[in-house]
Structure 1
Amino acid sequence: MSKIGIMGGTFDPIHIGHLIAAETARELCGLQEVWFIPSYGPPLKANEPGVSGLHRFEMVCEATRSNPAFRVLDIELKRGGISYSYDTVLELQKHNPNDSFAYIIGSDRINDLPEWHKIEDLAARVSFIGLERPGTPIQLAALPNYLQERIMLIPMPAIEISSTMIRGKLDGGHSARYLIPDLVYSYMRRHKLYES
């Protein structure tokens, strides 16, 4: 049985913070692989992704190409609609019945776990790896017991980078180089993504 980490998100665009989070979780939690799953439409975010699913998928492929422990799946993009983690896990378990799965999520996402679609059913099927970020306190005691026992907290290096910040820099005509992997930067330039 392999233990697989799941990194979900819009990845609009993917940046080095995502990669560091995935590698940190892989190393500290003994994961065999981390699977990146770009979402079609996130359930808890108001805004639609800025670029198409195909471009976001290709950027994640470029970003993860050099790490043999990273894989990219397009199951949520193919499914379309709102990307519920519960539906994704059902599909993953159907095709990988001998593997166990753990969602890798940041401090902010841990606190809103009770709002996730079918969260009790999801927590019965997967565990959660919570990345403790400086400045974002985790209210673990405020979560229901069934969630508390399914969360493993690990320290995350302080990296003040977000996709929103990167889009803002690019929209303002500034460089985002070195905040994103070189291959992603080249892909964005080649396809004129995020240019105002």
Structure 2
Amino acid sequence: MKRIGILGGTFNPPHIGHLLIADEVRHALQLDEIRLMPTAIPPHKMNPNDASPEQRLRMVEMSVEHVDGLTCSSFEVDRGGVSYTYDTMAALKEMEPSNEFFFIIGGDMIDILPQWHRIDELLKLVTFVGVDRPDSNGETTFPIVKVNIPEIDLSSTLIRKRFAEGGPVRFLLPNGVEAFIRKEELYG
């Protein structure tokens, strides 16, 4: 049995904060692997100027290319459609029944867990792992394993804004991602 962490999200774009969370949780919980899994279509609306699912997937692939213990999963992008965590985890559990899954969420997501699609059933499929995020309480009555990590106040929204305004992004993105964004003419 492998212990596998899943860090899902839009990754629009992926940044060093995503890698920090994944690596810290992997070490803290002694997981075999963390899969960064971009959504195909997130349940919340995206901006028409956002990167495509394929572009976001490519950026995540580049981000984890040379990072031990972190991998990129194309599962949701390959499946297409709106990505609900319950549907994804039910399918993964069916495909990999002997593996134990840990689903990593930030404090902002912990705050809204009661609103998640099929949350009670999802809790039977995964162990939720919560990490603090700036400007969130990160508290819930649901069972969550909390992992303390160094906080970094960084978001994909800030990075997209920096690109749109011509601001600095150096050191905020994994190797190769900035060049890919510029080549693809993403975010303004």
Band the TM-score falls in, shorter-chain normalisation: over 0.9
- Contact 1:107-1:137 at 8 Å conserved across structures: yes
Alignment of 1:51-62 (within 5 A): 51-62=51-62
State the shift of 1:2 in Å: 0.8
The structure-2 alpha-carbon separation of the partners of 1:54 and 1:134, relative to structure 1 and needing over 3 Å to count, comes to: closer
Letter in 2 for 1:75: F
State the shift of 1:136 in Å: 2.3
CA displacement, residues 142-174 of structure 1 (integer Å, 9 cap, x when unaligned): x3xxx22xx101112120110000001111111
Other structure's SS at 2:5 match: strand
User: Please, which runs of 5 or more residues in structure 1 have no aligned partner?
Assistant: none
2:84 — aligned with what? 84
Identity rate, percent = 37
Structure 1 residue corresponding to 2:164, chosen from 165, 171, 183? 171
State the shift of 1:119 in Å: 0.6
Letter in 2 for 1:35: R
State the shift of 1:134 in Å: 4.9
Alignment of 1:38-117 (within 5 A): 38-43=38-43, 45-48=44-47, 50-117=50-117
**TM-score of the superposed pair, with normalisation by structure 1:** 0.90
User: Please, which runs of 5 or more residues in structure 2 have no aligned partner?
Assistant: none
**TM-score of the superposed pair, with normalisation by structure 2:** 0.94
Alignment of 1:126-137 (within 5 A): 126-137=126-137
Letter in 1 for 2:105: I
- Contact 1:59-1:187 at 8 Å conserved across structures: yes
- Contact 2:6-2:34 at 8 Å conserved across structures: yes
- Contact 1:133-1:157 at 8 Å conserved across structures: no
The whole-number CA distance in structure 2 between the counterparts of 1:89 and 1:68 is 23
CA displacement, residues 58-110 of structure 1 (integer Å, 9 cap, x when unaligned): 00000000113111111211222210011111221122111010111100101
CA displacement, residues 124-144 of structure 1 (integer Å, 9 cap, x when unaligned): 11011100235422222xx3x
The whole-number CA distance in structure 2 between the counterparts of 1:115 and 1:106 is 15
> Are positions 1:153 and 2:146 aligned together?
yes
Q: How many correspondences in the alignment?
A: 187
Greater helix share, structure number: 1
- Contact 1:41-1:48 at 8 Å conserved across structures: no
Q: Which runs of 4+ in 1 moved over 3 A?
A: none
- Contact 1:133-1:156 at 8 Å conserved across structures: no
1:18 — aligned with what? 18
The whole-number CA distance in structure 2 between the counterparts of 1:139 and 1:159 is 19
> Are positions 1:192 and 2:180 aligned together?
no
1:37 — aligned with what? 37
Other structure's SS at 1:124 match: coil
State the shift of 1:118 in Å: 0.7
Which range is displaced more, 165-174 or 45-54? 45-54
CA RMSD of aligned residues (A): 1.4
- Contact 1:36-1:73 at 8 Å conserved across structures: yes
State the shift of 1:192 in Å: 2.0
State the shift of 1:191 in Å: 2.0
The whole-number CA distance in structure 2 between the counterparts of 1:192 and 1:47 is 18
